[in-house]
Amino acid sequence: MRILRAARLAPEGGVKALFFSYFALVGAFSPYLALYFESVGLTIAQIGVLMAMPQFMRIFGPPFWGWMADRSRHRVSLLRASAVVSLVVSLGIAAAGGSYGWLLALLALLFFATAAQAPIAEAMALTVSGGDSGRYGGMRLWGSIGFVIAVAVAGPVLDRVGVGRLPWMMAGLISLLLAVTWRLPEPDVVRGRAVSVRRRLREPVIAAFFASCFLMLFAHAALYAFYSLYLDRLGFSKTAIGAVWTLGVLAEIVLFRVQRPLFERFGALPLLSFSMAVTVVRFALIGWDGGWWPVVVVTQLMHAITFGMHHSAVMALLHRWFEPAQQARAQALYTTIGYGIGGSLGGLAASAWWQQAGPPAAFYGAAVAAALGWLAVALCQRFEYAATPDGRAGAGTKEGGAGCAGS
């Protein structure tokens, strides 16, 4: 209770607690949900559709929650409402068993509700940090800590009690999330003019940027939906799968902790480009390695760049290009285009490649998508630099690298 009271008094502590509890939930189900569906008798095609549901609902959920958040002084109340709905639905999943129709409907409702958490949390973090990449990373790493603890604990627990208990584990963690949101203070909301999303997307630099986000999350759908199943087919235990995911998130935590000098030296756009290039190599190696431990370790360490660096660069650019009163909608736009449209289509594509050409094909296809994303970032850089008198656009300056605190 003392910790929760401190979080209520300190906005930064509240954001840390929110990140921790939400990503602990993600860490509990993300690596193991496909295994749960397989355990209740679903086919690969059905699993592919269900695993695309989180991304698919991010097409519809974030615009609604972002619109509500930017027009309301009750952002925390929205977080509480979404947590209550999520808790009820998680209990319904436990009762649904292998009923594909019920699972489809319940997952749609679950991920529509949880779509409120990340955009609002990210908007709060950017407001509190003022665009400082080091301070933002210090808050965001608590999400990674929550994720890695949940993954590390869930693997051995599910090995012992069975993957069929996964929905009950999810319900427990949603209860923690609800408790945290209940102690959060309502943040001060900056009023501002409405932003036309359609008009912003007509700007070449914004269009190229969001195209890269779409392709990056399209590529990552193969990882999020099928990597655990891929490792399982290669003979990895649930504990070993958890350890593999844990290694990647530990690498990401280190990146969040030390990223400020990188952003000050190189800037957000060049680091975004670098993260896309590393993603190409990572997914090509996953498709090739056949479960060989040294390559599994290397590709998971790359997660620091393919997720951690990419995510921080995206946040810095959103903070630069969108006003404070528009941050929730900007976050929602990123979530919708990237995780929603990109992630859902990527999951369906990975499922098709898996069935038609074998598991490695899903990751080779992801590498091709990431390569196209790298080209989109190159276009973004060209448009951004051409629009500034000195051709730099803050790309290598402290202000640009920190996310343009004076956006």
Predicted confidence (pLDDT) per residue in 278-320, tens digit: 999 999 999 997 778 889 999 999 999 999 999 999 988 988 8
Flag whether 406 is in a domain.
no
Flag whether 7 is in a domain.
yes
Distances (CA, A) of 346 to 22, 101, 229: 23, 22, 16
Distances (CA, A) of 51 to 220, 268, 284, 386: 12, 31, 22, 40
Q: Return the closest-CA partner of residue 111 out of 336, 310, 318, 303.
A: 336
Contact between 123 and 131 under an 8 Å Cβ cutoff? The reply is: no
Residue 85's pLDDT band (boundaries 50, 70, 90)? Answer: very high
How many structural domains compose the chain? 1
Average pLDDT over residues 113-128: 81
Flag whether 384 is in a domain.
yes
Q: Return the closest-CA partner of residue 325 out of 117, 69, 38.
A: 69
Measured distance CA(56)–CA(69) in Å, rounded: 21
Higher pLDDT, 216 or 224: 216
CATH code of the domain in which 378 resides: 1.20.1250.20
The neighbour count for residue 28, using CB atoms within 10 Å, is 25
Measured distance CA(206)–CA(374) in Å, rounded: 15
Flag whether 175 is in a domain.
yes
Task: Using the predicted structure, report yes or no on whether residue 127 has a pLDDT greater than 50.
Answer: yes
Range in 25-29, 212-216, 343-347, 391-395 with the lowest mean pLDDT: 391-395
Flag whether 407 is in a domain.
no
Flag whether 393 is in a domain.
yes
Residues 6+ apart with CB under 8 A from 389: none
Which residues span the domain enclosing 289?
2-187+196-401
Average pLDDT over residues 341-352: 88
Distances (CA, A) of 166 to 40, 90, 95, 230, 326: 12, 10, 12, 19, 37
Flag whether 374 is in a domain.
yes
| Chain center to CA of 176 | 20
Task: Using the predicted structure, report yes or no on whether residue 133 has a pLDDT greater than 80.
Answer: no
Range in 237-246, 331-340, 397-406 with the lowest mean pLDDT: 397-406
**Tokens representing 6?**
């401190």
Task: Using the predicted structure, report yes or no on whether residue 402 has a pLDDT greater than 50.
Answer: no
Looking at residue 197, what is its pLDDT? 56
The mean pLDDT value of the chain amounts to 82
